[in-house]
Structure 1
Amino acid sequence: MAFEIIALDMDGTLLDSRKRVLPSSVAAVERAAAAGKTVAICSGRCPVMVTKYRDELPGVRYAICCAGAMIYDMEHDRVVDETNLDPAFISHALDVAEEEGFFLLEVTSGTGIYMQADEMSQAARCGVGIYEQLYHETSTVIADAHAFARRPDVLQSKLNFHFADVAARDRCRARLEGSGVVITNCERSSMEFSAPGIDKGVGLARLAALLGVPESSTISVGDAENDLAMLRSAGLGVAMGNALPCAVEAADVQVADNDHDGVAEAIERYLLA
């Protein structure tokens, strides 16, 4: 089968363990673009965190951001499609989380991310220390992210809680299960919330429809729990060599890890074959 679109997760996939894009990935993306193929990013990150890498990946126009909730056109800096969480759920989730223990809050609204400076300094404590520099580079710092997130006029496509304690995260998740939203565990002790029915698989299907490509002609590449839907729904699901067992099980094939040219292998072996 000829594939036309490949969707690449970022963390653990397109980015190596030091959060860099490997030269082999850049070269493979350029070859795919020259062949008329579409290479898209499909990440839990918001647009401001994705476009940080735009200059390294000039062959990538579209980004499926916020775990499938948003399609962003990086060439024209515009949101093509977006689905937001219910403000009532956000307020309830914050009530529950604040009862369970300390957590670092990421508020994703529009194309940006809003955070508290005192919470960002606790990133390592909350298992996301590797992102602290990125937070400082891309976040809009506000005095009270919790109050900001509770405002009904602040539309949010995704919400992340990074707990200091895994048990606190698990208690919070157990209390919020059944609410209808999509809840996904990530990092060491974090969880991610998306609107009902939204996941990376849905985001990839929407991009394919936008480009007039059947879903069967898409490839997805990922490594973690929030990649499962797109690994299962794409025409071909590719797990990275560093992928969690659940991602390997959901995928059709596996390539090398994110430090050893796995993305380039996926593009060369399956998109350009």
Structure 2
Amino acid sequence: MYHEILGRQDAAAPTLVFSSGLGGSARFWAPQLPVLLQDYRVIVYDQAGCGRSQAELPDDYSIGHMAGELAVLLDSLEVQRCHFIGHALGGLVGLELALQRPALLQSQVLINAWSRPNDHSARCFAVRKTLLRDSGPAAYVQAQALFLYPADWIAANTAQLAQDDAHALAHFPPQANLLRRIAALQAFDVDARLGDITTPTLLIANRDDMLVPWQQSARLAERLPKAQLHLLAYGGHASSVSDTAVFNRVLLEFLQEQI
């Protein structure tokens, strides 16, 4: 898979691995890089079947496949221990990786993630699938900001969103791949196995997330043995972009506690 290794390159540098959400792009984490590269070795990657990691995904594609693909990449880079940060679908990859390869993870940060399907998110993803199938990529991309960001942030960042939409449309994945990725996150359910995950975990959730209710993160906090929940009032589903300063502060404070 396409990946980048940024920041410190010395052997003593703590390694951070970032996994993005449904879009699957390393580009999603650009707002975090300026505060991390001086102190950390940072690995970002395009997930299989997305962006620069071209692949035809199988019909039975799952979050388990995604975690396995990341494990293969990290093994190829000789990463033996790392701190994992995952947003939404990327957070599901982290939970699965913690089950598959617990010794690999020193800690994990899961942002607006979940352990099992919920009816509200299922409705949102059904709408997104309908847009993609019936109206095409342009309509899907145009609607994306509505699921990710607060309304006032959208109104105040029209120019940036226009650039983001143009980039997303120019690099839009094959429709079959995207539908299989949505099916994978809809099918994900590790609720009964959360007690087996002993990785120190920070859960970041947003009260105004209209795609994934914050109570999904609260459920994770209750059931993961070594988890803490940090609930943010503002930022929508992607506060790493829409409220970067606050998000970065919370992330850095947790990472500094782990190292």
For the aligned pair, the TM-score class normalised by the smaller chain equals: 0.3 to 0.5
- Relative to its length, the structure with more strand (as a share) is 1
Q: Give TM-score, length-normalised by structure 1.
A: 0.36
**Could you say which structure has the higher helix fraction?**
2
